[in-house]
Amino acid sequence: MTKRNIGQEILEGLKEAVEFMEGKATNVRVSHVHVPEEDLDVKVLREELGLSQREFADAYGFSVHAVRKWEQGQRTPEKPTRLLLMMIRDMPDVVNRYLQLISEEGSSGASLA
């Protein structure tokens, strides 16, 4: 088995990233995920789940401050957060089951990978 030179691989990756940013042809694969710009009413979602702001934040990894700002319209969730909120809205059982699974895996020291 050949020993990998991790340092060299990192340097090559950085060089490729710079070339990509400069517009040069590279082997970089770019993926785009479309997240709709729809308005999510976080308060309605949270209330439909029967959770307080603190419970909602704790359950899904948000800060209470962010939940309050979203509900008051003072802040808009970023794309990854909006995607998670849409998943919580559309398939809460799946999200909750997954969160429970990773919580159990983390507490047992096992890895999902």
Q: For residue 53, what is the domain's CATH number? A: 1.10.260.40
Dihedral sign (CA 29, 34, 37, 39) = negative
pTM over 0.75: no
Q: Is residue 33 part of a domain?
A: no
Q: Is residue 113 part of a domain?
A: no
> Structural domain tally of the chain?
1
Q: Is residue 15 part of a domain?
A: no
Cβ proximity of 76 and 70 under 8 Å: yes
In tens, the pLDDT along 27-58 reads 877 788 778 787 889 999 999 999 999 999 99
Q: Which of 15-29, 47-61, 69-83 has the lowest mean pLDDT?
A: 15-29
Q: Is residue 1 part of a domain?
A: no
pLDDT at 2 over 50: yes
Residue with the larger pLDDT of the pair 43 and 24: 43
Greatest alpha-carbon pair distance for the chain in Å reads 58
